Chain A
């Protein structure tokens, strides 16, 4: 630790300036809007806590579909995506450089191509008629006789969105964990072998993970954030917001629905603030799990 009075502020200054002006100020304004009635045209009208009260008492769509969907989605995609990311990163670290670079690129690529390409690939798989890949395979196996209209089926829509989200969840947390694993000194493994680490599982839990706690924490927070901020998958697959019967409606879709389709910006801001609170609570838990007590 270096303790000097002015230096840290000099190092912080360029980032801090841009951060305050272009990120903090707009967020503070958005939080301010959550206490108003604002249609994006007229001057916002102060309504106190009414948006929040409506959210928790009146908004049946939110309480009945959006909130449960979001929790189910995030509690599956967050932890599973995180473990999968670590597992793949660790596996990639065990092979030689050139194939590792190529495979890393491919596994990360869904995070680069979000959008059109992703939608088309998954639409071909889950097409609602006999020519869809999923229907074709299930018919051939004799599991179903009639093709399933996946995108309009309220039972299957959310699970499909979850699968696609998992598939696309190898993002920056995955890259950071891979870099973290690669950065661990090989001497630690050699020392571990002498100290009686017998198998790969022990190696992972006693050497790899403890040596890369900062990256593990980063990956965990990004998984929480990514899982709760996801939303466009369902809309892109079905081509509509709200998704059919709200079956895959998530918080972000609800915010878009109110903010940019109904122009109730004040209410959309209140939903955003409530989402912030939820994300904060879950990443606090993640932090507790990964921060060393000192």
Chain B
């Protein structure tokens, strides 16, 4: 139907798509270098890790770095499973609440009329423009005043409100036609039902993108562990993995390379799941 047989989201391959591949693939090769590097680096034996000039690809892959990593974890005072468990709880809580709260707030800001709507949205966007490093000390003071220092809450509560995620979800809700909500209202749906049954399904791509973003902020976060906690029992996996990089021994560097790959894989998995669900759940029909 569309021009020259090309269209958005085609179902099958057509020769008209070839020009896109001609530049997308070279771009992707260039941009995929860090992934390749992380994977290769983790399997490098000692002599290759420190080769000069640095080598990109591994020639004699070995599992020595992973063995050292697990050996080191087995010897540490706090079991690796404790860090992993903490990370899992913290990450899950932040991602779920960030997306849930932001979508509720985004719905209110996009589809309701109320007095403080304009000012609130403006403040949210100002907040995302403020450089995070400048608030490090004030944030510590606030968290200490709330009384959650050295608890699991210190990892979760400060990270749930992400202004970018609210902005993103609100922008997508703006596209949901008002007429859809009004007809639901006439049929007697409550506001929460409208949110749950109409708005959420239509903005799934924004929810998935928001979840990826929230995950990235919490999963590799070492700041909450290093600044807001002092006992190892409430620290997270990323913090533990990061301590390996600071061990400046030859073994430490190898373990750090293995740890980098270990920490990176969940990113990949989540991205693929979310991105393919975004594409699978296209809900054109309702949107203008």
Contacts and interface: CB of A to CB of B under 8 A. Distances in A.
A61 interface: no
A22 B143 contact: yes
Contacts of A283: 125, 129
Interface residues of A, number: 106
A107 to B, nearest CB: 5
B226 interface: no
A276 B260 contact: no
A193 B3 contact: yes
Interface string B183-219: 0010000010011000000000110110011001000
A26 B135 contact: yes
Contacts of B38: 113, 117
Nearest to B100: A14
Contact of A19 (B37, B161, B276, B287): B161
A141 interface: no
Which 8 interchain pairs have the tightest Cβ spacing? A272-B134, A179-B205, A29-B138, A8-B112, A11-B108, A26-B138, A214-B171, A15-B105
A94 B171 contact: no
Interface in A65-117: 88, 91-97, 99-101, 103-113, 116-117
Interface of A: 1-5, 7-9, 11-12, 14-16, 18-19, 21-27, 29-30, 33, 40, 88, 91-97, 99-101, 103-113, 116-118, 120-121, 123-124, 127, 131-132, 167, 170, 172, 175-176, 179-187, 189-190, 193, 197-200, 203, 208, 211-212, 214-215, 217-218, 221-222, 225, 229, 251-252, 255-256, 259-260, 265, 268-269, 272, 275-276, 279-280, 283
Interface of B: 1-4, 6-13, 17, 20-21, 23-25, 27-28, 30-35, 37-38, 41, 53-54, 56, 97, 100-102, 104-105, 107-109, 111-114, 117, 120, 123-131, 133-139, 141-143, 146, 157-158, 160-161, 163-164, 166-168, 171-172, 174-175, 178, 181-182, 185, 191, 194-195, 205-206, 208-209, 212-213, 216, 245, 256, 260, 264, 267-268, 271-272, 275-276, 278-279, 282-285, 287-288
Given A93-B8, A124-B56, A186-B8, A110 B34 contact: yes
Given A18-B161, A96-B10, A120-B54, A268 B34 contact: no
8 contacts: A3-B113, A14-B100, A23-B163, A88-B24, A88-B27, A110-B31, A225-B129, A276-B129
A182 B27 contact: no
Given A15-B104, A120-B54, 12 more contacts: A9-B114, A14-B104, A22-B139, A22-B160, A26-B142, A30-B138, A104-B275, A105-B268, A110-B31, A118-B34, A185-B284, A276-B126
A11 B105 contact: yes
Contacts of A117: 34-35, 37-38, 41, 260
Contacts, number: 302
Contact of A255 (B109, B128, B131): B131
Given A112-B271, A176-B206, A95 B10 contact: yes
A7 B284 contact: no
